[in-house]
Copies of this chain bind each other. A is one copy, B any other.
Amino acid sequence: MKQKAVLAFSGGLDTSVVVKYLQEEHNMDVITVTVDVGEGSDQKKIAAKARHLGVLRHYNIDAKKEFVEKFIHPAIKANALYQKKYCLATSLARPLIAQKVLEVAKKEKVSALAHGCTGKGNDQVRFDVTFGSGSNLPIIAPIRDLNLDRATELEFANKHGIPIDSVSKKFSIDQNLWGRAIEGGNLEDPYAEPPDDAFIWVKTKNLPDKPRYMEIEFENGVPVSIDKKTLNPVRLIEYANQVAGANGVGIVDHIEDRVVGIKSREVYETPGAMCIIEAHSDLEKMVHTKHENKFKSIVDQEWAWLAYSGLWQDPLKRDLDKFIDQSQKTVTGIVRLKLYKGGLRVVGRKSKHSLYRHDIATYGKGSAFDQRKATGFVELWGLQTTEANKLADKR
């Protein structure tokens, strides 16, 4: 009897090549696993492709709800934007997919785990670390191990009768509920503007002439309704993607530091994420003390770095999550966004936990704040600073 390998399968070029490679070079039976994390490809087509490639068994797992609750919600609470820009759509999905692969591996008693990641990207780290955190099985990663480039893969595909999707010829795409990443083609020139046809979620032409307002309601840091409509977690993000995308909001274009040290130019469509994080971040400033605001931005940066860097399973991430969860107990309220032709701005926010007090802040009559207290405050606030300068002047 042949040995079995389980493979995270997307139906694309890379993972199709891996199926054949495992069958022919390793002489193994292949079990494919496709995890539906939303906004995605046709799951039936993927299953058909897997069968066409002669796999032993194909699993299709709907993990959309789990993806939102266990991965996207923590990211929202952490205002997670790697290097201030990237909402981590792919980064968050990979550990989940890898976990599902592990579950199948245990059930099927396979003797190896496989993925189709290259050695240049971040996904290999996320797969390998998740696999290694939950199992001692060997990991087979043929694209990386054979140092294959795209042209060589296409040749291999031709030779082995692997059908190639003509659509993905121009760009390399990865997408899920939380965002869509576009790579390759002329995007590899960081000075060239991304062409309009790179964008599918975000309209770039013929945008509505009137501003669109969006009200997002948060409970303990998690979005629970938009425009006064309570939506289930998956639907809420789809809705935000649609509304923001239709109003031209959600394109990100930046230079990114990959885990392996490569710099890459990355282009994303993340309309829902952009709105939700902007709103969440604004609400936090209303309900958190200034000490929380200052320190949490350091915690948030570390969280995003860990999640991006394939260290989702590191105990540090669990530590950070506890900090963040506690901080979200007051992050309840409503934020009003204005979307207009690609522009996005918070125009209002309210919360029962608001530390903003009109009676203190107002310059109008009858303020509860006695300004005279400030004299002593300011003097002590600046005591060492002024002292240091006076001392320096004397010398």
Contact = CB atoms under 8 A, between A and B. Distances in A.
A255 B292 CA distance: 14
Contacts of A358: 188-189
Given A172-B363, A302-B295, A364-B150, A263 B355 contact: yes
A346 interface: yes
A361 B316 contact: no
Contacts of A84: 281, 297
A104 interface: no
A190 interface: yes
Interface string A175-202: 0000000011000111111100000000
A147 B371 contact: yes
B371 A119 contact: yes
B190 A356 contact: yes
Given A374-B260, A379-B373, A191 B255 contact: no
B256 A365 contact: no
A346 B253 contact: yes
Interface stretch (A30-38, A138-146, A224-232, A234-242): A138-146
B125 A378 contact: yes
B264 A292 contact: no
Interface stretch (A20-28, A48-56, A60-68, A307-315): A307-315
A286 interface: yes
A136 to B, nearest CB: 8
A166 interface: no
A263 B295 contact: no
A11 interface: no
Given A119-B375, A371-B144, A346 B292 contact: no
Interface stretch (A2-10, A106-114, A157-165, A381-389): A381-389
Nearest to A348: B191
Contacts of A340: 341-342
Nearest to A172: B363
Contacts of A94: none
A298 interface: yes
A344 B342 CA distance: 8
A194 to B, nearest CB: 7
Contact of A151 (B207, B257, B364, B370): B364
A212 interface: no
A116 interface: no
A294 interface: yes
Nearest to A358: B188
A292 B305 contact: no
A263 B253 CA distance: 33
Of A251, A263, A293, A358, the most chain B CB neighbours within 10 A belong to A263
Contacts of A259: 381
A143 B346 contact: no
A361 B263 contact: yes
A316 B341 contact: no
Nearest to A207: B341
A342 B209 CA distance: 13
A40 interface: no
A385 B313 contact: yes
B391 A353 contact: yes
Given A193-B347, A371-B147, A385 B311 contact: yes
Nearest to A334: B191
11 contacts: A119-B372, A120-B369, A128-B379, A129-B385, A189-B358, A262-B360, A264-B361, A322-B325, A330-B388, A330-B392, A373-B375
